[in-house]
Amino acid sequence: MKSGHRPRKRFGQNFLHDPAIIRRIVGAIAPQPGDALVEIGPGQGALTAPLLRAAGRLEAIEMDRDLVAPLQESLAPLGELVVHQADALEADLGRFHDGRALRVVGNLPYNISTPLLFHLFGQAHRIRDMHFMLQREVVDRMVASPGSRTYGRLSVMTAYHCRAERLFTVAPGAFRPAPAVESAIVRLVPRAGAVDDPVAAERLARVVTQAFGQRRKTLRNTLRGLLTEDDLRACGVDPGQRAEQLDLAAFRRLAGRLSHCAE
């Protein structure tokens, strides 16, 4: 889509334009005819066009109302494109769900990427997979292992909801305007049953959030008022450890203990 549209900072717009990177992303997604594709932030359609051409139909969520009509008009010959002018942070994926698991893709605005990811995790039961362009350091945190400098709340909650795989990095020059940071592509495949028990998920989120709230302090301090030292030991967790030393299994045990304490 050719346009004189100027990228808007308030929408976090950095438009992808590098043909080699576009081909590589589309190759990683591997869209097929009949796929239930949903694109977040299509922008000027750099990814939308090849995805639509391959799948035949695509739903898109675009915040910038000035891009909606040009997208629909310019890409109409490629397939059935429906662009919804809406805020992705408020989008209910149920409106796109027709029984087929959704394939969600997008070059996510970096200024809202983390809350948007959590919003999508809560709807993971409708999703087959997700492929996103994100700031590289966000992807680093998503796939980080316990004990690493980048391991934190996002790492634990991503691991709970999805299998995450960092695919490749993208240099700033692939965008217009070029961002000040490197980007990366991540593949997320929701885990079966991760949102079947929303109460358990909420308890896990509560424990993880409080544990990492003051990450340099020990768990006996950060979880005070939530779990006692005896609770921690009952879960096989040393109260003198820090949150960054615990894996997902340990956090799940703590969340289960929180459930026991609430009874």
Q: How confident is residue 7, by pLDDT bands cut at 50, 70 and 90?
A: very low
Dihedral over Cα of 18, 24, 29, 33: its sign: positive
**Average pLDDT over every residue of 23-42:** 96
Tens digit of pLDDT for each residue in 194-242?
666 788 889 999 999 999 999 899 999 999 999 999 999 999 999 999 9
Q: What total of structural domains would you count in the chain?
A: 2
**Average pLDDT over every residue of 98-127:** 91
Residue 37 sits in a domain of what CATH number? 3.40.50.150
The answer on 251 and 130 residing in a single domain is: no
> What's the CA gap between 131 and 170, in Å, rounded?
14
For residue 2, being part of any structural domain is answered with no
Q: What pLDDT, on a 0 to 100 scale, did the predictor assign at position 212?
A: 97
The per-residue pLDDT of the chain, averaged, comes to 90
CA count, 13 A, side-chain hemisphere, 46 = 21
In the chain the first and final C-alpha atoms are separated, in Å, by 58
Q: How confident is residue 262, by pLDDT bands cut at 50, 70 and 90?
A: low
> What's the CA gap between 261 and 131, in Å, rounded?
38
DSSP 152: S
Given a cut of 80, whether residue 246 has pLDDT beyond it is yes
Q: How confident is residue 43, by pLDDT bands cut at 50, 70 and 90?
A: confident
Q: What pLDDT, on a 0 to 100 scale, did the predictor assign at position 135?
A: 94
| Contact (Cβ atoms closer than 8 angstroms) between residue 112 and residue 87 | no
For residue 4, being part of any structural domain is answered with no
Q: What pLDDT, on a 0 to 100 scale, did the predictor assign at position 11?
A: 43
Which residues constitute the domain of residue 227? 198-262
Q: Which of 190, 223, 250 is the last residue of a domain?
A: 190
Tens digit of pLDDT for each residue in 54-86?
999 999 999 888 889 999 999 999 999 999 999
For residue 181, being part of any structural domain is answered with yes
Q: How confident is residue 8, by pLDDT bands cut at 50, 70 and 90?
A: very low
The answer on 135 and 16 residing in a single domain is: yes
Q: Which of 190, 207, 227 is the last residue of a domain?
A: 190
The answer on 142 and 84 residing in a single domain is: yes
For residue 241, being part of any structural domain is answered with yes
The answer on 24 and 59 residing in a single domain is: yes
Report residue 202 as tokens: 């909420």
Q: How confident is residue 178, by pLDDT bands cut at 50, 70 and 90?
A: confident
| Contact (Cβ atoms closer than 8 angstroms) between residue 193 and residue 201 | no
| Contact (Cβ atoms closer than 8 angstroms) between residue 55 and residue 37 | yes
The answer on 115 and 52 residing in a single domain is: yes
Residue 202 sits in a domain of what CATH number? 1.10.8.100
